[in-house]
């Protein structure tokens, strides 16, 4: 049913909840699992010849993305699941909803209800909402369990 499941990770608690749920599905359906982190390039300053004024910020974002994916991969491995990882650059809404699923035949995206960037969410809307509206694959949104569900 779900041959390839993608889980976008941003280091947030909700993205870890999504990974936990995705691992259950991967085991049930014997799916391929890819953990994805998107480096949001809009935070960098460009000019015609390339990135300018970014200093160590670009390197810092790349290191953080690698750390997030390594942590997710370890969680998967601890549950006996092999996970591929991928770092992409661009607009997270576009990459998660369309670019990555289209390039990789993703059948399900499992993601948290909200992520780490509250300021961006207030200004331009949540990544999760945009992915649900625009995804080329099915989307499963994982919410924080309420006290009566625990």
Answer yes or no: are the C-beta atoms of 14 and 126 closer than 8 Å.
no
Write the pLDDT tens digit of every residue in 23-49.
999 999 999 999 999 998 765 555 444
β-pairing, 50-51 vs 46-47, is: antiparallel
pLDDT of residue 145: 72
Ranges of beta strands (E only) in 9-147 are 32-39, 46-47, 50-51, 83-89, 108-112, 138-142
Residue 11 has pLDDT above 80, yes or no: yes
Using a pLDDT cut of 70, give the percent of the chain over it.
79
Provide the CATH number for the domain around residue 82: 3.40.50.620
pLDDT of residue 113: 84
Domain count for the chain, please give it. Answer: 1
Residue 88 has pLDDT above 50, yes or no: yes
Interatomic CA distance for residues 96 and 5, integer angstroms = 12
Range with the largest mean pLDDT of 48-52, 57-61, 135-139, 144-148: 135-139
Q: Write down the pTM of the prediction.
A: 0.85
Place 1 in a pLDDT band, splitting at 50, 70 and 90.
confident
Q: Give the range among 29-33, 86-90, 140-144 with minimum mean pLDDT.
A: 140-144
Interatomic CA distance for residues 88 and 49, integer angstroms = 21
Residue 16's domain spans which residues?
4-149
Residue linked to tokens 């085991």: 27
């Amino acid at each position: 049913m779900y041959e390839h499941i993608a889980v976008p990770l941003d280091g947030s608690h909700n993205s870890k909840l999504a990974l936990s749920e995705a691992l259950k599905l991967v085991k049930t359906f014997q799916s391929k699992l890819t953990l994805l982190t998107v480096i949001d390039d809009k935070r960098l300053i460009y000019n015609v010849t390339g990135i300018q004024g970014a200093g160590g910020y670009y390197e810092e974002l790349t290191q953080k993305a690698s750390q997030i994916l390594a942590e997710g991969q370890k969680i998967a491995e601890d549950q006996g699941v092999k996970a591929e990882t991928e770092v992409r650059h661009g607009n997270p809404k576009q990459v998660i909803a369309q670019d990555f699923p289209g390039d990789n035949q993703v059948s399900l995206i499992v993601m948290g209800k909200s992520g780490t960037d509250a300021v961006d969410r207030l200004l331009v809307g949540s990544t999760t909402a945009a992915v649900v509206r625009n995804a080329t694959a099915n989307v499963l949104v994982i919410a924080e369990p309420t006290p009566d569900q625990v």
